Amino acid sequence: MSAFLTNAESILATAESNPDGTNWTILTGAPGGIRMIANSDWPLDSLQADSGADAVYRIHRHAGQVTVEGRSARQSCALRSDAPAQVARFLLGSTIATSYCA
């Protein structure tokens, strides 16, 4: 497995364990090693070209899901972690009680 994809998987695992709600963009190999930018809306290819980074990764959070998009000179990827409720519905079938009555 490439270092690029290994980094994307590590970023996804870290983002899942830290639900702070911020969307981050991570640039690697840029002058200074690693840079993190909060809530950037630049397209990854433009950000990579402008910064001179070897790779860029974007962490996006929405409705309990975490997505990591990555881009390097020769590779790109998108990894997604489903929200816990979606995983539970999948594992338990579609009949999950959404309310409790006593």
Domain-located, residue 59: yes
Beta-strand relationship, 24-30 and 33-38:
antiparallel
- What pLDDT digit, counting tens, does each position of 1-50 carry? 789 999 999 999 999 888 777 899 999 986 669 999 999 989 999 999 99
Domain-located, residue 14: yes
Domain range holding 63? 3-92
Domain-located, residue 43: yes
Instruction: Tally the domains of the chain.
Output: 1
Domain-located, residue 49: yes
- What pLDDT digit, counting tens, does each position of 42-83 carry? 999 999 999 899 999 999 988 888 999 999 999 999 999 876
Domain-located, residue 101: no
Domain-located, residue 98: no
**pTM of this prediction?**
0.78
Report long-range pairs for 8-14 (Cβ below 8 Å, ≥24 apart): 8/57, 8/68, 8/70, 8/77, 8/79, 9/79, 11/57, 11/59, 11/68, 11/70, 12/59, 12/66, 12/68, 12/79, 12/81
